Structure 1
Amino acid sequence: MGEVTKRRADWSNLRVFFTVAQTGGINAAARALHLNPSTVTRAVEELERQLNVTLFLRGPRGVTLTQPGEAAFARVRTMEKMAESLELEVADSETLPEGRVRLAAPDGVAAYFITPFLPEFMRAHPGLDLSIDCGLWPDRPLDGEADLTLTFSEPTQPDAVAQAIAHVHYALFASREYVSLYGAPATIEEVLLHPYVHHSAQTHQKELWGPRVEAWQVLTHKRIETNASAVVIQAVRNGIGIGAMPTAIASVEPDLVMLDVLKVGPAKLWLVHHRDAVRPARVRLVKDWLKSIFDARRRPWYRSEFVHPSEFAARIEAAGAPRESGTRQTG
């Protein structure tokens, strides 16, 4: 026991413990830290072994601190405040947008709606580096917590600053070649005759898709089922079948045709960060750049009202916005 208590506790485990104590549960802490619940549980158990104490009492409604846990929480809270003060002092000294910024974003958003604008942005800021974590390997995230996060889930953390920067509308799409070979379904019932490329999020986001679409999806022939938006887009683009995706895809993939049988949404895309995360100039720069990418005045497909892809070019021209690299006109 003496040897165990002399071991120095891992700071990453202390931060996990601190978040669990703050949020009151393993799952809530996992969401706040962008980790798997099992990873959070292992970190707490490892810390308990290192300290040779029980820090939490587990119950059906979450966790509560034991007496040793209360003492540990008070100490770690002091450490956290000292760390924040140090970070703020260092951040205040940063006046140039240089260094690494960590961004977390859904894979489809990152690949199709952010990456096309990366070359120009990175050329303009040679001292800036980006890490983009798409969450596809949740047990092996990129090093470090995200400075900025794009998410379709409205954040609930009390210390989070969140802004809805885009409205994302969904519709059914097929490739031009697929429509030429098999025709375009005219009704939602006719879609059932076609192979469907299904994103698993559509099963869980019931508030977005609604009971009618949910019932229809039960009957579809899910030729492909995936949890990656990039797979859906590439599968449909290569003629495997029909799939639901953001109407914004028509701005970057002209070979995809929207089918006028289903409109869903909009879902809000949130830009989230800790209230102190944007102190460094490099993070503010990336934040402003992201907001410009999803600016509905320049890109009408991100407006709250539905805009058909056939109207994209006219809406852009009416707004007087210049055509940019990364965006293709659609007709």
Structure 2
Amino acid sequence: MTKIARRRADWSHLRVFFAVAETGGFNAAARELRLNPSTVTRTIDELERQLNVSLFIRGPRGVTLTQSGVTAYQRVRTMQQTAEALELEVSNAESLPEGRVKLAAPDGLAGFFISPHMPAFLRANPGIDLVVDCGLWPDRPLEGEADLTLTFSEPAYADAVGITIAHVHYALFASREYLDLYGAPSDGVEVLSHPYVHHVAQTHQKEIWGEKAIAFQTLTKKRIETNSSAVVVQAVKNGVGIGALPTAIMAVEPSLVMLDVNPLPAAKLWLVHHRDVGQSARIRAVVDWLKSIFDPERAPWYRREFVHPRDFPLAAPAAPAAPAAERPERKPKSA
């Protein structure tokens, strides 16, 4: 079957036609569109050739529309009005805090430190829907590119806008029940004799943890290895052993006990977005919300300097470890 080619008018040609019809002349349209008059003339000639009609009657005082030109003008004016309405609608949509925002964040941050604040944010912003991608199912990611990313790696691509939103300090933690059974290690050497809950990022992210901390992680007796911060928190909380956690965990899980050994390194938490989305009202609303969550004035555990959990506002103070004489003689299970 023979395929019939349809004549199609290029929208850029129609835009020039509309300008000529509105201004009444090629030169006036050229000034309006900031084009060379010869370009306008060639464009109209090409459009008439494509449509196989005459659109204008040329005269010494300008141009007038032919009957076909009047029909074309009415259609193109409708198209122009539709385009203007679309532009206004899209512009208004971006000026209002409405629409879908996709946030990429580690599961621990999203689950323990962001999720508790979601109800208040969504009540205050009923037009915003959140999509939170924690990267735990890499072959089936949530639909769409991330509008915002929380990451411990400094952004490296050219169009990225990144700010340090928090300093996340790490320390070693255990449950009260575990310490009652096995005693609290007094230094890093004693920690090595205890079962350890290990997050693999703590040996792979050398730029964050440093050689000394990575060497320590390598020597630990790993009873659990995982790529999920939520698994580390729950395992430590339920007495599996000792694990490295953000000191901020005490604000949401005050039953945990921070060990009296040297704190681990702090990591910068970056909030990153593409330069082009920064002006969107819905993106700005989520950015402001995340900044409030990690505000170091409200949450001192996110300050640049280390703040001990005992100084956290509203946090339950860590109880002292049981005296040695009262501890059971059981030894921690080896790896």
| TM-score with structure 1 setting the length | 0.67
1:214 aligned residue: 214
- For 1:147 and 1:259, locate their aligned partners in 2 and report how far apart those are by CA, in whole Å: 38
Q: How does 1:238-257 map to 2 (within 5 A)?
A: 238-257=238-257
Q: Identify the residue that residue 277 of structure 2 maps to in structure 1.
A: 277
> Does the Cα contact within 8 Å between 1:171 and 1:259 map onto a contact in 2?
yes
CA offsets per residue over residues 265-290 of structure 1, 9 Å max, x none? 22100000011213221111011000
Deviation at residue 179 of structure 1 after TM alignment? 1.3
User: What is the identity, as a one-letter code, of the residue corresponding to 2:273?
Assistant: H
1:130-172 CA deviation, whole Å, 9 max, x = no partner?
Answer: 0000011122111111111100000111001000010011000
| Partner residue, 1:15 | none
Q: Which has the larger radius of gyration?
A: 2
- Aligned equivalents of 2:277, 2:88: Cα separation in 1: 9
The residue aligned with 1:301 is 301
SS at match of 1:123: helix
Note the 1:124-143 alignment, pairs <5 A: 124-143=124-143
1:264 aligned counterpart, secondary structure = coil
Equivalence for 1:166: 166
Whether the 8 Å contact between 1:174 and 1:243 is mirrored in structure 2 is yes
Change (3 A) 1:237 1:87: farther
What is residue 155 of structure 2 aligned with on the other side?
Answer: 155
Find the counterpart in structure 1 of residue 29 from structure 2.
Answer: none
CA deviation after TM superposition for structure 1 residue 98, in Å: 1.7
Q: 1:233 to 1:91 in 2, by over 3 A?
A: farther
- Once structures 1 and 2 are overlaid, which stretch shifts more, 271-280 or 241-250? 271-280
Q: Label 1:280 to 1:91 Cα distance change in 2 as closer, same or farther (>3 A).
A: farther
Distance across 2 between alignment mates of 1:115 and 1:103: 12
The CA distance in 1 between the partners of 2:302 and 2:91, in whole Å, is: 33
How far did 1:97 drift?
1.4
> 1:190 deviation in Å?
0.6
177-186 or 213-222, larger mean C-alpha shift: 213-222
Uncovered stretches (5+) of structure 1, i.e. residues with no partner:
1-85, 314-327
Does the 8 A contact of 1:102 with 1:130 survive in 2? yes
Q: Following TM superposition, by how much is the alpha carbon of 1:207 offset from its aligned partner in structure 2, in angstroms?
A: 3.1
Distance in structure 2 (CA, Å) of the matches to 1:302 and 1:92: 36
Alignment of 1:250-269 (within 5 A): 250-269=250-269
Which ranges of structure 2 fall in alignment gaps of 5 or more residues? Answer: 1-85, 318-335
Structure 1 CA distance for aligned equivalents of residues 152 and 88 of structure 2: 29
Q: Secondary structure at the match of 1:190?
A: helix
Task: Look up the match of 2:316.
Answer: 330
Letter in 2 for 1:251: A
Cα pair distance change 1:151/1:255, threshold 3 Å: same
Normalised to the residue count of structure 2, the TM-score between the two structures is 0.66
Deviation larger for 277-286 or 194-203:
277-286
Q: Which residue of 2 aligns with 1:44?
A: none
> What is the one-letter code of the residue matched to 2:188?
I
CA contact (8 A) 2:174 2:239 kept: yes
Structure 1 counterpart of 2:55: none
Instruction: Tell me if the contact between 1:199 and 1:226 (Cα under 8 Å) persists in the aligned partners.
Output: yes
Determine helix, strand or coil for the equivalent of 2:265: strand
State the secondary structure of the residue aligned to 1:218: helix
Counterparts in 2 of 1:278 and 1:92: CA distance versus 1, 3 Å: farther
Residue in structure 2 matched with residue 288 of structure 1 by the alignment? 288
Matches of 1:290 and 1:267, distance apart in 2: 17
Answer whether contact 1:91 1:280 (CA < 8 A) is retained: no
1:66 corresponds in structure 2 to none
1:101 counterpart residue number: 101
Structure 1 pair 88–186 and aligned structure 2 pair: CA distance change class (3 A): farther
User: How far apart in 1 are the matches of 2:216 and 2:104?
Assistant: 32
The question of whether the paired residues in 2 share the 8 Å contact of 1:92 and 1:279 is answered with no
Structure 2 vs 1, CA of residues 91 and 137 (structure 1 numbering), >3 Å: closer, same or farther?
farther
CA pair 270-91 structure 1, distance change in 2 beyond 3 A: farther
2-side partners of 1:312 and 1:287: how far apart? 25
Once the two structures are superposed, residues 292-327 of structure 1 have per-residue CA deviations (whole angstroms, 9 ceiling, x without a partner) of 1001011000000000000112xxxxxxxxxxxxxx
What are the equivalent positions in structure 2 for 1:19-30 lying under 5 Å apart? none
Task: Give distance in 2, aligned partners of 1:111 and 1:228.
Answer: 11
CA distance in 1, matches of 2:216, 2:145: 39
The Cα of 1:220 is off from its aligned counterpart by: 1.3
The answer to whether the 8 A contact 2:203-2:218 is kept is: no
The amino acid across from 1:259 in the alignment is: L
Alignment of 1:68-83 (within 5 A): none
Aligned residue type for 1:175 = S
Instruction: State the secondary structure of the residue aligned to 2:315.
Output: coil
Query: 1:256, CA displacement in angstroms?
Result: 0.8
Q: Is the 8 A contact 2:171 2:247 kept in 1?
A: yes
C-alpha deviation, 1:96, in angstroms: 2.3
